[in-house]
Structure formats: C-alpha cells, structure tokens
Chain A
Amino acid sequence: MDQVSELKIQITGLSKRFGTIDVLRAVDLVVRTGRVIAIVGPNGAGKTTLIKSILGLTRPGAGRITFDGVDVVGRDEYRARIGYMPQIARFPENLTGAELFRMLKDLRGGAAPLDVELLESFELGAALEQPLRVLSGGTRQKVNAAMAFLFSPDLLVLDEPTAGLDPLASSILKDKILADRGAGKTAVVTSHIMNELEELADDVAFLLEGRIAFVGTLDELKRITAQATLERAVATMMTRGWVRAAA
C-alpha cells in the first residue's frame, strides 16, 4: 500500500469558530487505515465538532480534510463509505426502524453490501416493525448502532457508542468494532468511558480547548504520563494542562 491509502483521514490546520469561541484551533490529525482512534478530552474540547467536520456536517473555518487522499470539503460522495453513529439517537417518532433503514438504503443508492450482523446479535427483528417512539432508549441506541454498520462502511464514526447500552449489548458492539478493525476497517470513537476506549483504541488523540494536546498510540500515552490506565493517563494530562507537539 502506498503512503496515501494508509491514511484514511488527514486533517491539516482545521479551525472552526462559533461566534467568538474558537472550538477548533489549527488541528492536525491523521487517522490510519485499519486502526481505531479514540478522541478524548474534557467537555467542550471540540470532540463533536471534530467528528462533525469529518462528516461535513460542520463546515471548516480553515484547513483541509482528506479521505483516502481526496479533499472532502464541500463534497458528498465520500460519505457513502462512512457509517455514523450519532450521540443522540432521536429519530422521526412515527417511522419504524425498518423504514429508517430503507430510507438510508434509498439515500445511499443500495450499492453497498449489507452487514446485518449487529441487527441479528441485538435481536432487533420485532422492534424494527414498531414506531421508533415506542422503543426504549436502549433499543433505540441499538438501532442507532446497527445503522452505522449496516452498509459495510470503510470508516466508522462513533460518538459515545455505548452510552445507554446494557453490558451485553455494549460487549456485542465492542466485539463488532474490533472484528471490523480486524477486517481492515477504520474507526474514530469518542467516549467518556476511558475503560471502554482502552479496550478498543490503538491510538489516542487528546483534545484540549480546541487543540490537539497529544496524539499517539495508547502505549505511548501511558508511558509519557507514567500511568497504567488510559483513565489515569488522561486525568494526568488534564491536571497538567498538557500541551505537547504531536508525537
């Protein structure tokens, strides 16, 4: 593989300002193909804005984002290869899960092979025939997760994926993420639960006040902070207000 295709996403000098607040300040970040990268940082550090910039939901103020070497700003097609699991699973209340899936299929043109593994392991069959409004929060979150994986995307963008899932569902989802990584897929994951990221992540990007304060492998982060777990390592960085050139 050449250099370009090893980089799933390359972000250079990404800045974004909302009103008078600089949410992202000249962020440089590389997401390598076939790896899981965790985006961590305190509330308001810019994690969701970063994710939404990758998806084109938020327009960059400055900077470049490439997907497989192709500039994505202002483009649409590349999203056919991304599976997005938003933080809040709120859907049109009068549609059924099955209708929601059909809509996504229609919007995507139906070219991608369907991956129904999560649908089956979550046993969503009966729930998909009911209006989304009557589903419990946990079941809706399962629908949300199954939706992100449904179209066998190359890149998974998961914003707080296990929030609201019971331990069994959460394990199933994590296994799925790791299995897909094994199959060469890439994932960008945010979460407040550090133990969970520890299980999943190969790389960690630590965002602080809109800047990348650290980016590197999980082991590197632990070594630098002299901590045994990701949670401790991140806590150490947060107390020190760590700012360090990207590793």
Chain B
Amino acid sequence: MNTILMVLKYQARDAVRSRWLIGYAIFFGLVTEGLLRFSGDPAKAQLSLVSVVLFVVPLVSIVFGTVYLYNAREFIELILAQPVRRLQTYTGLYLGLALPMVLAFAVGLGAPFLFHGIDATAWNTLVALLAAGTVLTGAFSAIATLIAIRCEDRLRGLGTAIAVWLMLTVVYDGLVLFILAVMSDYPLERATLAMMMANPIDIARVALLLRFDGAAMMGYTGAVFLKFFGGALGATIAITALTAWIAAPVALGMRAFQRKDF
C-alpha cells in the first residue's frame, strides 16, 4: 500500500510539472474559453466540447502515456531495484500517470465555466463531460501502460498506440456506419446498441449527446437510445462496459508487468 502511494506521489509530481501536461490543460482552457465567448451560451459550448473531448482525450492519453512510460523505463528499473512489490509499483505508476492527466483535463475544461458562472443544467452537463473525460483517460492510459510494458521497441509501441486510437475513433465508427447502411432494411437498434457498447468512445458519446435537447432530433434510434440509457438496466450495462474498458487493460498490464524482464 505504502509503495503504491509513494510511487504515485513522486511520479505524479514529475508528471504535473511536465510541459506537455501543462500544455494539455492550457489547450482545454483555451478551447473552452473560446467556445464560451463565441457562442455566448454554455449549453452550445458544451455540445461542441463533446466532440473535442471524445477526440482529444483518448489521443493525448494514449500517446502521452506511451511516450511517458517509455521515457520512464530507467526510472521504473530504479524503483524495482528497491524492496518493492511489482504489483504495487505497477498500480502506483498507472495512477501516477492517469491522475495528473485527469487533473490537467478537468482544470483546463472546468476553469472557464467556473469563471463565467453557469446554471444548474449546465453544471450537470459539465459534470457529465468531466466524468466522460475521466473514464476515457483511465481507459486509454491503461491501454498506453499495457502497450509500453508489452512492447520493447518504442517506435512500434507508439505506432500501436496510434493504431488503437485510430481504430476506436475512426475505423470502428466507419464499420458501424457501413453495417448500418448495408443492413438498412432490418431493425438494427439493438445491434447498434451492442456495437456501441463495445467501444468506450461510443458509449461516452451516446451518453453525453443524450443529455442535450438535440437527442430528440435523432429520431427513432435516438428514442431507443434514450430509453436504453435512461433505464436502470441500460445505465448499468453502459457503466459496466466502461469499467471493463479500464479494468481489462489494467489487469493485462499487471500480468505483463509481473512477468516482464527489465
């Protein structure tokens, strides 16, 4: 337990001082501030932010995470040369990576809203946006950790990281759209839901968009989604799926870290 906290403490301290992470926070600060000023309406700004969050958070989490851990290779060896358990070291490293990223994201996105002052509805949406970003950061930095542990060659590791991101962001949605187009004669609401559940970015997207009035414009599919996510069962499934997207790479990373030869 002590090891987890110590590794977390010092690694997080290193990460929050990283120029990249500070830049990440400033980026979200500027984008949010800009959208708030141009639209003049927190709800509109938040709707635009959904796309930004779903695009940028996974990308930065997986790329920054992979690069950071490759650079920390000697540091990890130094830690493991101390009387520490590998499992605890891994946990400390993962949290020491994910928590500063969540912090940078939350501060960057949240500060302009606090500064401008928002009403209760906008508050709820802000919390949902922050929660979605946090979960996506957790999932994608776990995937980054897994890649950095499993893959000795950093160039291949970085390539894999970008490929995973492209797969889940662009290719997957393309495939889903393709299937929907080809099978348009059949009722595909349930199948669509199932396909959405398999991709953390899609779960986050649907869960966020349903919070906006625009959801009503999504027609019958929107109604099915709204019913699904609004119900206890749907919400449980969505939360379970998101949790699995964090837990699975964390568990695989732990196993790989236990067995790894440094």
Contact = CB atoms under 8 A, between A and B. Distances in A.
Contacts of B85: 76
B90 to A, nearest CB: 13
Interface string A64-101: 00000000000011111010101011111111000110
Contacts of A79: 81-84
A107 B75 contact: no
B13 interface: yes
A106 interface: yes
A237 interface: no
B262 interface: yes
A122 B261 CA distance: 33
Interface in A12-30: 16, 18
Interface string B58-101: 00000000000001111101111111110000000000000000
B11 interface: yes
Nearest to B85: A76
A3 B3 CA distance: 35
A220 to B, nearest CB: 31
Contacts of A91: 74-75, 78
Chain B: interface size category: 20 to 34
A88 B74 contact: yes
B262 A58 contact: yes
B18 A94 contact: yes
B84 A59 contact: no
A222 interface: no
B129 to A, nearest CB: 29
B6 interface: yes
A57 interface: yes
Contacts of A131: 17
A82 B80 CA distance: 12
A80 B261 contact: no
Contacts of A226: none
B77 A99 contact: no
B76 to A, nearest CB: 9
B178 interface: no
Contact of A84 (B71, B81, B261): B81
A57 B80 contact: yes
Nearest to B78: A86
Chain A: interface size category: 20 to 34
Nearest to A151: B82
Contacts of B11: 92
A57 B81 contact: yes
A16 to B, nearest CB: 8
B10 interface: yes
Contacts of B10: 92, 95, 99-100, 102-103
Contact of A57 (B17, B18, B75, B262): B262
B88 to A, nearest CB: 10
Contact of A108 (B71, B72, B77, B82): B82
A56 interface: yes
Contacts of A76: 83-85
B116 interface: no
A18 B6 contact: no
A52 interface: yes
A104 interface: yes
A99 B13 contact: yes
A55 interface: yes
15 contacts: A52-B262, A56-B80, A57-B81, A57-B261, A57-B262, A59-B261, A86-B74, A86-B78, A90-B74, A91-B78, A92-B72, A94-B13, A99-B10, A107-B6, A107-B83
Interface of B: 2-3, 6-7, 9-11, 13-15, 17-18, 71-75, 77-85, 259, 261-262
